[in-house]
């Protein structure tokens, strides 16, 4: 199982702490069954930490105008909203909620050039709260795709998440499905697309980051080919 680089330090420290605690517990306590139970619980806890930082290889053969899910999770919002931070106009928002058991790596939904990347320190409302997109700790990234134009996605920390890693820097040329960052312990990601977008998911659908195609943005060429 491939691990995300954000997990190396956490896993190493967790392993060291568990070993030290178990060592002293066995030294100071001669109750065999209690030591055995604690050892088993420690092993399960460590395995859960390792599992959380898994980073499975993903790839998809998407068309140039198709948008892939940036994360694993469940679609919780599909609606037309006013986006005030960057676009300052109406956009189609697709939101994906991640539970602590989902893969938490964030992947680029489209290829292109990063033209905006900003971090905001904020609150830690539950990730499905309507105001979490505006009030929670978050990062906003905009990638300018040569076919469909600028696409925004926003990493949002939840009630449990306390740290967002964002690798996007303005000027970077990025590839669809590539590693864009990591959100630690429960969160959500919002994607903001043009209004002329055909959505390929419905609320409640499960997504796989870097694999599930969530939308198809209608280009000018496609619109001209539609029958009047």
Q: What is the pTM of this model?
A: 0.83
Identify the domain containing residue 170 by its residue range.
66-224
Residue 87 domain-assigned?
A: yes
CATH of the domain at 156: 2.70.70
Q: Indicate the pLDDT class of residue 226, thresholds 50, 70 and 90.
A: very low
Return the H-helix or E-strand segment holding 94.
Answer: strand 89-98
- Where does 53-198 have alpha helices with state H? 132-135
d(CA 119, CA 26): 45
Domain match, 147 and 81 both: yes
Residue 57 domain-assigned?
A: no
**Which has more pLDDT, 180 or 160?**
180
Domain match, 34 and 127 both: no
CB atoms within 10 A of CB 60: 15
d(CA 226, CA 70): 29
Residue 61 domain-assigned?
A: no
Distance of CA 39 to the CA centre of its chain: 32
Domain match, 11 and 106 both: no
Domain match, 183 and 133 both: yes
116 in Cβ contact with 100 (< 8 Å): no
Residue 114 domain-assigned?
A: yes
Q: Indicate the pLDDT class of residue 75, thresholds 50, 70 and 90.
A: very high
Catalytic residues: 187
Domain match, 16 and 101 both: no
Domain match, 211 and 149 both: yes
Residue 19 domain-assigned?
A: yes
Q: Indicate the pLDDT class of residue 72, thresholds 50, 70 and 90.
A: very high
Sign of the CA dihedral with 20 first, then 24, 27, and 31 last: negative
Residue 85 domain-assigned?
A: yes
Please tell me the total count of domains within the chain: 2
Name 144's bridge partners: 113, 150
Reply yes or no on whether the pLDDT at 224 is more than 50: no
d(CA 152, CA 91): 10
Q: Indicate the pLDDT class of residue 12, thresholds 50, 70 and 90.
A: very high
Determine the pLDDT at residue 221.
Answer: 44
């Amino acid at each position: 199982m491939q691990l995300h680089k954000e997990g190396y330090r956490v896993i190493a420290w967790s392993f060291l702490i568990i070993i030290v605690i178990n060592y002293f517990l066995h030294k100071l306590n001669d109750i065999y069954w209690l030591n055995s139970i604690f050892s088993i619980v420690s092993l399960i806890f460590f395995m859960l930490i390792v599992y959380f930082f898994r980073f499975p290889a993903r790839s998809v053969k998407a068309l140039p105008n198709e948008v892939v899910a940036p994360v694993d999770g469940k679609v919780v919002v599909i609606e037309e909203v006013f986006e005030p931070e960057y676009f300052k106009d109406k956009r189609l928002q697709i939101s994906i909620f991640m539970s602590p058991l989902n893969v938490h790596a964030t992947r680029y939904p489209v290829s292109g050039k990063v033209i905006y990347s900003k971090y905001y320190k904020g609150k830690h409302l539950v990730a499905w709260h309507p105001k979490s997109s505006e009030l929670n700790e978050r990062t906003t990234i905009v990638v300018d795709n040569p076919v469909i134009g600028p696409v925004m996605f926003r990493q949002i920390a939840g009630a449990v998440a306390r740290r967002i890693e964002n690798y996007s820097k303005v000027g970077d040329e990025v590839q669809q499905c590539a590693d864009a960052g990591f959100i630690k312990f429960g969160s959500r990601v919002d994607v903001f697309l043009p209004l002329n977008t055909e959505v390929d998911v419905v609320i409640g659908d499960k997504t796989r980051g870097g694999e599930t195609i969530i939308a198809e943005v209608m280009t000018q060429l496609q619109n001209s080919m539609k029958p009047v």
